[in-house]
Structure formats: C-alpha cells, structure tokens
Amino acid sequence: DTAVSQTPKYLVTQMGNDKSIKCEQNLGHDTMYWYKQDSKKFLKIMFSYNNKELIINETVPNRFSPKSPDKAHLNLHINSLELGDSAVYFCASSQDVSSNEQYFGPGTRLTVT
C-alpha cells in the first residue's frame, strides 16, 4: 500500500557510471518531484513534472535527466556520475500544481566512489 515508492533504496557505484532511480506513486496524483538531500541534510528541489511534462528544472546539471513515461512514474537518470552526486534523492508527488501537500518516498541513498 506504499503511496510513493522508490527503487533502489541504496545505490553504490563508481565515478563515470550511468545509473537510474525509479519512482512510482499510486495516489493518482498529477504532479511529481525530485529532491536532493546533501550530506548536511539540506533538501533542494531538482525537478517537478505535471502530467508527464517538465515544469521546473532548478539549475541541475544536464547529466541529470528525468523521464516520466506516465503520470504515475518519474524516473531519474544520471550520466557520468561524479563524487558530488552522492546524496539521498527523494521523490514526491502532489495532487496537482495548485496542491500544497506533497507525499514523499523513502529516498534513495546514492554513493559514488
């Protein structure tokens, strides 16, 4: 019955690799987000999608490419991973763009070595 789920929970990889994180929500929401939480626990919005369309890209390097195959999924693909990409990535969803309440996934801890 998980509302927002992410896979994998942990991801350890080497610099230069390409990896993907998947997110799915079963709430019937229209809007989905990706947030990055750095080593100091600071959370920052990366992207938001509404009905599969990108609406926000917060100065994220173009090595990060979100993809939304349908409203219930928002995946994050990262090319040429760097040490600084190590963080916890959270997916979230909300009813629509005017909704104020977001539901968060459990997070994916990415470690780049």
Partner 1 sequence: AQSVTQLDSQVPVFEEAPVELRCNYSSSVSVYLFWYVQYPNQGLQLLLKYLSGSTLVKGINGFEAEFNKSQTSFHLRKPSVHISDTAEYFCAVTKFSGGGADGLTFGKGTHLIIQP
**Interacting residues toward partner 1 by CB under 8 A:** 31, 33, 35, 40-45, 48, 50, 55-56, 58, 90, 92, 94-107
18 vs 58, which CB is nearer to partner 1?
Answer: 58
Distance of closest approach, residue 16 Cβ to partner 1, in angstroms: 27
62 vs 98, which CB is nearer to partner 1?
Answer: 98
Residue 88 token pair: 């916890």
Q: Closest Cα to residue 68, out of 54, 55, 80? A: 54
15 vs 54, which CB is nearer to partner 1?
Answer: 54
Q: Closest Cα to residue 71, out of 96, 100, 102, 88? A: 96
3-state DSSP percent of the chain in helix, strand and coil, to 5 = 5, 55, 40
Tokens 């990706």 found at:
34
Distance of closest approach, residue 80 Cβ to partner 1, in angstroms: 25
